[in-house]
């Protein structure tokens, strides 16, 4: 039986009975029974309470309203919903109970019963509307709660600010016209240290020492730092880690490319335990690599020391700017270069070298035919662009084509290239993989030098070159960003080319007489093993393995190796350990002993990995 909407009747008692029927359908059977006496006088019999309200088809538009839960009961209902709406579960479990606000009204005169029925209907509709709003509010709240973790995850995916490893603030350049002679003198000084017995090995537990604490190895540490000039000779002698000794440790760390915190850590202890003979060998080998150099020093020049993975802009004999860099990995070493910077390229394209096409592109295309399109690399032939699907990637024919990556943020050269013509076809440039600049050890490129904050270096290089608005203007940060923002390739020729050199100095002396050391990442300081007289007798089995670093002379550590995700290859570490011998080394003669040619480790690739 489907009830009809209430309407005005000719008889007031009939209207009251219809109103009571409506209240019964609204879930208030008790109210209908309480009003049954008044309705029986002239209206129909009261409607009995329904045992299962869901079995009666409700009136149109009243289904959702009549079955909505009460506001005070919604919390408990929602907890046990388990995927069902709270109002549906309530309707299926028990009939609606009368609300306290719907108590039986006082008897009223007959002429006002119709008006009271309308008022009650309006009140019921208002109550249902308020319940609906409360339910909607609770529903919106429940939906917003699971969105909070999503918002947090979205915020976590935002790019982190760029972080660069700390570089030395020493104003003395790595390379000056005096570096060769200063380094030879330092090599002689360290040879004298080695002949005199060098310094004692420090225990590992010294790394746990805190400032102000005592340790029996402190006198040996003081002796070492006094020999190397880090601790003044007149410093008070004691077994305490006092402030002068902390300052001396910080100075030692700065000379070895370590964070100059003054705290004795594991890397600092390892560097202190490198024998004087090894340090002398580093200085002598570095000086030998500088022999015959014809680098044209001037008022302004750029130096890249490969073992330091740093770039120095030198002006008037002092370092004007120093930047972190990423240089070649041991198997793709950055070569030593002396040339001039002639041009700056904004939004450069990248022509993929044949070696990368063979070793990286072809294997990638075999696995993923869309690799070139994803990296925006086009294939160019004599007649123009070539469709990648027309090339047989199972063979090596792709090497005969020119592959070029379009300019853009994801270009392997980044947004800027610093052009410096040389026979190795290497240069300095930007990179999209800027996270590598935060590492302490930065030997990851294919041979080129990636420069952190390269736009600032470009601004220094373009000093004296007319700006984009003609003579009298300059290239400031805004002009550089504007020139890059349009995305078009732009080449700027320097008014005066600037000399630049890539050097490999694991040991060098600055004009103030201090000796600086870096790790021999390419293993160039180690002489090649001497063959037999006729070459027919092979070296003794395990000759290299028989020369491990003794307990008193560990090989020099890589600065920041504890923070490096890619430790030095075992080959380089083993070779470095083999250089350590128990016997002291004589001072290097005027002409150092022959060593492995640098060209054996030079990479002819001016490439970066495809990202």
- The answer to the question of residue 92 being in a domain is yes
Residue 394 structural domain: 350-406
Assign 451 a pLDDT band (cuts: 50, 70, 90).
very high
- The answer to the question of residue 441 being in a domain is no
Exposed (0-12), middle (13-18) or buried (19+): which is 84, by Cβ within 10 Å?
exposed
Assign 158 a pLDDT band (cuts: 50, 70, 90).
low
- The answer to the question of residue 32 being in a domain is yes
Examine the fold and report which residue of 98, 114, 141 is the final residue of a domain before the chain moves on.
Answer: 141
**How many whole angstroms separate alpha carbon 114 and alpha carbon 122?**
12
DSSP string for 133-169 = HHHHHHHHHHHHTTHHHHHHHHHHTSPPPP-------
| Beta-strand runs (E) in 72-156 | none
66 is written with which tokens? Answer: 């009549």
How much is the pLDDT for 173?
96
Tens of pLDDT, residue by residue over 20-66, are: 444 444 444 444 334 444 433 444 444 444 444 444 444 444 444 44
- The answer to the question of residue 262 being in a domain is no
Examine the fold and report which residue of 406, 431, 454 is the final residue of a domain before the chain moves on.
Answer: 406
Instruction: List beta partners, residue 339.
Output: 500
Residue 317 has pLDDT above 70, yes or no: yes
**Which DSSP category does 276 fall into?**
H
Domain total of the chain: 2
Tens of pLDDT, residue by residue over 366-383, are: 999 999 999 899 999 888
Examine the fold and report which residue of 141, 169, 189 is the final residue of a domain before the chain moves on.
Answer: 141
**How many whole angstroms separate alpha carbon 571 and alpha carbon 482?**
47
Query: Model's pTM, two decimal places?
Result: 0.62
- The answer to the question of residue 396 being in a domain is yes
- The answer to the question of residue 83 being in a domain is yes
Percent of the chain with pLDDT over 70: 60
Q: Which residue has the higher pLDDT, 355 or 378?
A: 378
- The answer to the question of residue 430 being in a domain is no
Give Cα 262 distance to the centre of its chain.
27
| Overall size of the chain counted in residues | 611
Q: Which residue has the higher pLDDT, 597 or 388?
A: 388
170 is written with which tokens? Answer: 């020493």
- The answer to the question of residue 472 being in a domain is no
Residue 554 has pLDDT above 70, yes or no: no
């Amino acid at each position: 039986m489907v009830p009809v909407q209430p309407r005005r009747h000719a008889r007031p008692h009939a209207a009251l009975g219809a109103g009571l029927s409506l209240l019964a359908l609204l879930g208030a059977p008790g109210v209908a029974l309480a009003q049954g006496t008044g309705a029986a006088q002239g209206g129909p019999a009261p409607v009995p309470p329904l045992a299962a309200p869901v079995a009666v088809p409700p009136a149109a538009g009243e289904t959702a309203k009549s079955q909505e839960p009460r506001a005070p009961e919604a919390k408990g209902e929602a907890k046990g919903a388990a995927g069902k709406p709270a109002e549906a579960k309530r309707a299926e479990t028990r009939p609606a109970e009368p609300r306290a606000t719907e108590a039986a009204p006082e008897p009223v005169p007959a002429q006002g019963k119709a008006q009271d029925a309308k008022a009650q209907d309006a009140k019921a509709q208002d109550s249902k509307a308020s319940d609906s709003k409360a339910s909607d509010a609770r529903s919106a709240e429940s939906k917003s709660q699971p969105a909070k973790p999503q918002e947090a995850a979205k915020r976590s995916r935002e790019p982190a600010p760029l972080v660069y490893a700390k570089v030395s603030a020493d104003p003395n350049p790595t390379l000056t016209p005096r570096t060769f002679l200063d380094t030879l003198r330092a090599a002689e000084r360290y040879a004298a240290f080695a002949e005199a017995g060098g310094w004692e090995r420090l225990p590992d537990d010294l790394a746990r020492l805190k400032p102000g604490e005592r340790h029996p190895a402190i006198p040996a540490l003081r002796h070492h730092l006094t020999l190397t000039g880090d601790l003044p000779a007149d410093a008070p002698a004691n077994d305490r880690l006092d402030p002068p000794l902390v300052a001396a440790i910080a100075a030692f760390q700065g000379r070895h490319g370590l964070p100059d915190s003054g705290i004795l850590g594991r890397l600092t202890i390892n560097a202190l335990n490198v024998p004087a003979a090894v340090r002398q060998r580093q200085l002598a080998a570095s000086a030998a690599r500088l022999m015959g150099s014809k680098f044209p020093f001037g008022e302004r020049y750029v130096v890249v020391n490969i073992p330091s993975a740093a770039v120095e802009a030198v002006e008037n004999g002092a370092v004007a700017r120093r930047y972190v860099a990423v240089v070649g990995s041991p198997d793709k070493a950055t070569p030593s270069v002396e040339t001039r910077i002639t041009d700056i390229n904004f939004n450069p394209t990248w022509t993929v070298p044949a070696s990368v096409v063979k070793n990286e592109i072809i294997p990638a295309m075999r696995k993923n035919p869309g690799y070139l399109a994803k990296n925006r690399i086009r294939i160019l032939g004599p007649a123009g662009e070539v469709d990648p699907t027309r090339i047989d990637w199972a063979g090596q024919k792709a090497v005969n084509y020119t592959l070029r990556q379009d300019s853009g943020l994801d270009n392997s050269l980044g947004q800027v290239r610093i052009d410096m013509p040389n026979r190795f076809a290497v240069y300095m440039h930007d990179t999209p993989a800027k996270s590598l600049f935060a590492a302490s050890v930065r030997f990851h490129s294919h041979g080129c030098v990636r420069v952190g904050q390269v736009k600032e270096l470009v601004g220094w290089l373009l000093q004296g070159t007319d700006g984009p608005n003609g003579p009298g203007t300059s290239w400031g940060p805004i002009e550089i960003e504007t020139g890059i923002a349009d995305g078009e390739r732009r080449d700027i020729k320097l008014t005066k080319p600037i000399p630049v050199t890539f050097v490999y100095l694991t040991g060098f002396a600055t004009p103030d007489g201090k000796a600086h050391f870096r790790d021999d990442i390419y293993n160039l300081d180690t002489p090649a093993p001497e063959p037999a007289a006729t070459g027919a007798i092979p070296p003794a089995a395990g000759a290299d393995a028989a020369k491990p670093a003794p307990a008193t002379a560990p090989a020099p550590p890589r600065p920041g190796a504890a923070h490096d995700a890619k430790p030095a290859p075992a080959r380089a570490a083993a070779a470095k350990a083999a250089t350590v011998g128990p016997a002291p080394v004589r001072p290097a003669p005027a002409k150092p002993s022959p060593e492995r040619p640098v060209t054996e480790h030079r990479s002819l690739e001016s490439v970066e990995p495809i990202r």
